[in-house]
Amino acid sequence: MGGIANERHEPMELQIRAATLREAAAVSQILTEAAVWLRELREPLWDLDQLTVDRVAPDCDAGLYFLAWSGATAVGTMRLGDSDPLFWPEASADRAVYLHRLAVRRAAAGGGVSSALLRHAARIADVRGARYLRLDVEAGRSKLREVYERFGFEFHSDHAVGGVRVARYQLLCTNPLR
**Distance of alpha carbon 54 from alpha carbon 56, whole angstroms:** 6
Average pLDDT, the chain: 90
Look at residue 51 and tell me if it is in a domain: yes
pTM attached to this predicted model: 0.89
Task: Determine the pLDDT at residue 44.
Answer: 87
Domain count, the chain: 1
- Measured from the Cβ of residue 5, the count of other Cβ atoms closer than 10 Å reads 8
**CB proximity list for 128: less than 8 A, separation 6 or greater:** 82, 95, 97
Task: Please report, for the domain that includes residue 100, its CATH number.
Answer: 3.40.630.30
Strand segments, DSSP code E, in the chain are: 15-18, 65-70, 73-81, 96-104, 132-138, 154-161, 164-172
Domain presence at residue 150: no
Residue 157 lies in a domain: no
Residue 88 maps to a domain: yes
> Where is average pLDDT lowest: 86-90, 91-95, 135-139?
91-95
Q: Do residues 66 and 107 lie in contact, with contact meaning Cβ atoms separated by under 8 Å?
A: no
Report the alpha-carbon distance of residue 83 to residue 92 in Å, rounded: 6
Measure the CA–CA gap between 51 and 39, rounded to whole angstroms.
14
* Domain of 100, in residue numbers: 15-135
Highest mean pLDDT among 1-15, 84-98, 113-127: 113-127
C-alpha distance across the termini of the chain, in Å: 33
Q: Is residue 107 part of a domain?
A: yes
Rg (CA), the chain: 15
Residue 142 inside a domain? The answer is no
Any domain includes 21: yes
- pLDDT tens track for 30-87: 999 999 999 999 988 899 999 999 999 999 999 999 999 999 999 999 999 999 999 9
Residue 129 lies in a domain: yes
| Spatial contact of 105 and 117, defined as CB atoms under 8 Å apart | no
